[in-house]
Structure 1
Amino acid sequence: MSTQPVTIRDLVVHQLIKEANGPASVALRDAVLPVTPAGQRLVDHLCQQYVARLGKGFGKFEEDETQFAVPGLVRAHVIDQSIDFITLTRGMMSQLQLRAEQEALATGGFVLFARGRDEEADFLLVALVSEVMGTAITDGMHITDSLHLDMNTLRVAGRVDLTAWQKGQDRYLSFLKGRGDVAAYFKLFLGCNDVVTALKETQKLVQGLENFVATTQLGHAARDELFERAHGYLDELGNDARSVSIADVAEKIWPDEPEKMRETLADESLQLNDGFVPDRRAIKPLKRFKTTAPGWKLEFDRGAIRSGDVIYNKSNDTIVLYNVPEQLRKDLVGDE
């Protein structure tokens, strides 16, 4: 994960005013904010927090812009350039207020909008940040209460990869799913269609596990143990029709250092959704090797290597099979 500061093009903060089970209202700024060192630190911190968080949903804008107005607002600002950034964000706040009204448990906070660029893309970040009570020391060495932004708890946020969107890619919009359904209103506000295919998501999870093994440089025994543990856990979830929690995957599969695995699985390049039921077809590579050459096909479990039934000699690039089944032996030797 990059720690380089992002280049901020536009920045503004509005306020969503709402208590749980209460009505929603907004307090809006009339102009964008100057990019001060404090503003830069805040945006950098939120971007780093967002990238590191697991449990994100990925998708694209809904096509029905009558029911979902934010995609049209973003297009008007980015593509048509018919509205400026402050008009974009005020329009988005109107939609956020509407969706928050529909979610009883939604609560308010300061809503930061930043358009910027990191090492990879032009992006639009929207983050709802709460206030917490802290303690400060005054110039006279007195202790006093001090309200400040809760920089360590990013409850609700979304990000549009504007570069990928303009290139016509399929998945350029993400949002924090959080625990439970409270953040669902934020997905509706963004107009995000996050319909997932369990097969594709499971394949991405398997790829993420392979990435982890490669970057951690595990030995053969530790690698095979990890893959078999992953296969068993995901197979059980798939069999029981239970959904995946990426955070739980890391705890179950690599309990000694789950944070290392979380960091790999949180990589934005994977675009790995939370909450899908594993497709058991897609986890076979965790347990089995399967390959095809012009004159033959071969498939075997990782356990066959440990037992010695399959031996690969990398010095001469050969595979030797032991304990050949009787019928195959007869087919090979004929009437001898």
Structure 2
Amino acid sequence: MSAVQQLHQLLLFPLSEAELASGHDGVALSLDVQQDQAQSLLEGVLEQYTSRLGKGYGRPGELDDAQVKRWLTAHAVAQSLDFAMLCQHWYGHARQCLQGGPVPGHWLMFARLQQGSSDVILLALLPQKQVLQMQQGHLQVQSVLDLPSIQLAGRIDLTGWQQGTERCIGFLRGRGDGSPGFKRLLGCEDVMVPLKETQKLVQGLTRFAEEEAVPAEQRDQVFAQMHGALEALGERGAPLALDELIQQSWPEAPARLQTVLAEQAVTDGFVPDRRALKPLTRFKAAGEHWRLEFDRRSLRSGEVIYERQHDRLVLTGLPESLRAALQAD
């Protein structure tokens, strides 16, 4: 995601139990985008969004009669719906989507911005917290935005959507009851393919081991543990929780592994496809007239030897049947 950005509009809507239950339109607080406070808020929300794993991806779908998709079309394509009115529609929709979720006391933020060559809409539920401040010699309790506690945020790439990009919506999966409602608020339809997601995960893990120059024996051990955990999830049909996998497999430096997987756009919430897990424990390759597959552990045991100087593999301990066939050829 490009760090170059230009903020066009930023609106905040208060959320309370009364407002979520009412049928009345809320009053938006529109921030002056030329002020440092608006830019600081945007950068703070973007920092929380981009640094988190546990994202899901999708595209505008047919949820709730595709009303979010229609609003986005009217705003970005037909240009018959301005951003303020789009947000007003969205805020009304939030009362349906977020009831029952842990959102009272939050602010619902809508931002329209340019990131690189992409027109983007950023949505986030901004929690608040109470702090003590000293004013004129007296302690006072004040409410402030608590950006590090953001659990629900989404990014819609309007440019990518109009160009046919499949994964034009990204969102934090969050925890608890609010996550499904927020995904519905985005109008997001999943486009996750477990096989592709598993392949990206394996590629990210391999890249991390190479960049960190992890010793071979340690890498084999970590990969074997990951293979076992992912294989078990696939067998049970259980979705992957990426943050848990990272903490279990690389607890000494989870942030570095998290960064690599984020760069690979690895998400979670999918059931690992066991067909894509083999590279964690096995090497497999083929030439025009040969095919080879062997376990990583065979390199440590000496059954397979890679001679770097000559760029060739030496196989030892051949089965008697293969030895006899080769000698007879």
TM-score scaled by structure 2? 0.91
Counterpart Cα distance in 2 of 1:105 and 1:114? 22
Matched AA of 2:113: G
Deviation at 1:218, TM superposition (A): 2.3
- Cα 1:292–1:186 shift into 2, 3 Å: same
Same amino acid, percent of matched pairs: 36
**1:331 match:** 325
Deviations 1:278-305 (A, max 9, x none): 1111101111110110010010010010
- Cα 1:33–1:73 shift into 2, 3 Å: farther
Matched AA of 1:249: L
76-85 vs 317-326, which moves further: 76-85
Q: Say whether the 8 Å CA contact 1:109–1:130 is kept in structure 2.
A: yes
Q: What are structure 1's unaligned runs of at least 5 residues?
A: none
Q: Select 1:130's aligned residue among 127, 130, 148.
A: 127
Q: Say whether the 8 Å CA contact 1:10–1:116 is kept in structure 2.
A: yes
TM-score scaled by structure 1? 0.89
Q: Say whether the 8 Å CA contact 1:58–1:174 is kept in structure 2.
A: yes
**2:77 match:** 79
**1:293 match:** 287
Q: What are structure 2's unaligned runs of at least 5 residues?
A: none
**1:46 match:** 45
27-36 vs 51-60, which moves further: 27-36
Matched AA of 1:186: F
Counterpart Cα distance in 1 of 2:60 and 2:137? 52
Matched AA of 1:261: L
Q: Select 1:95's aligned residue among 93, 96, 103.
A: 93
Deviation at 1:306, TM superposition (A): 0.7
Q: Select 1:116's aligned residue among 102, 113, 116.
A: 113
- Cα 1:175–1:108 shift into 2, 3 Å: farther
Matched AA of 2:92: S
Q: Select 2:173's aligned residue among 173, 177, 184.
A: 177
**2:141 match:** 145
Matched AA of 1:280: R
Stretches of 4+ moved more than 4 A in 1?
Answer: none
Q: Select 2:254's aligned residue among 231, 252, 258.
A: 258
Deviations 1:8-28 (A, max 9, x none): 1221112232279x7256522
- After superposition, where does 1:23-38 map in structure 2 within 5 Å? 23=21, 27-29=26-28, 33-38=32-37
SS at match of 1:35: coil
**2:202 match:** 206
Q: Say whether the 8 Å CA contact 2:59–2:191 is kept in structure 1.
A: no
Deviations 1:127-149 (A, max 9, x none): 011221112222x3432211111
Matched AA of 2:299: I
Aligned residues: 328
